[in-house]
Amino acid sequence: MAELRRTPLHALHLELGAKMVPFAGYDMPVQYGLGVMKEHLHTRAAAGLFDVSHMGQVILRGADYKAAALAMEALVPVDIAGLGENRQRYGFFTDAKGGILDDLMLANRGDHLLVVINAGCKEADLAHMRESLAGVEIDAISDRALLALQGPSAEAVLEALVPGVAAMRFMDVASFESDFGELWVSRSGYTGEDGYEISVPEDRAEALARALLASPEVEPIGLGARDSLRLEAGLCLYGHDLSTDTTPVEAALTWAIQKARRTGGAREGGFPGAEVILAQLANGVLRKRVGLLPEGRAPMREGTQLFAGETDEAAIGEVTSGAFGPTLGAPVSMGYVDIDQAGDGTALFGEVRGKRLPVRVAPMPFVAANFKR
Q: Where are the alpha helices (DSSP H) in 47-201?
A: 65-72, 122-132, 154-161
pTM given for the model = 0.97
Q: Which amino acid type is present at position 196?
A: Y
105 Cβ contact partners less than 8 Å away, ≥ 6 residues apart: 88, 89, 90, 91, 115, 116, 186, 188
List of domains in the chain: 1-233 (3.30.1360.120), 254-362 (2.40.30.110)
pLDDT in tens, 281-333: 999 999 999 999 999 888 999 999 999 999 999 999 999 999 999 999 999 99
Q: Give the three-class secondary structure for 297.
A: coil
HSE, side-chain direction, 13 A CA sphere, residue 50? 30
What band does 2 get if pLDDT is binned at 50, 70 and 90? confident
| Biggest distance spanned by C-alpha atoms of the chain | 63
Distance, C-alpha 26 to centroid of its chain = 18
**According to the model, what pLDDT value does residue 1 have?**
60
For strand 195-201 and strand 144-150, is the pairing parallel, antiparallel, or unpaired?
antiparallel
**According to the model, what pLDDT value does residue 104 have?**
98
For all residues of the chain together, what is the average pLDDT? 97
From 189, 219, 146, select the one nearest 370 (Cα to Cα): 189
pLDDT in tens, 62-104: 999 999 999 999 999 999 999 999 999 999 999 999 999 999 9
**Does residue 373 carry a pLDDT above 90?**
no
**Pairwise CA distance, residues 176 & 141, whole Å:** 18
Q: State what percent of residues in the chain have pLDDT above 90.
A: 98
How big is the chain, counted in residues? 373
What band does 267 get if pLDDT is binned at 50, 70 and 90? very high
Distance, C-alpha 192 to centroid of its chain = 10
**Pairwise CA distance, residues 356 & 190, whole Å:** 32
**Pairwise CA distance, residues 5 & 8, whole Å:** 10
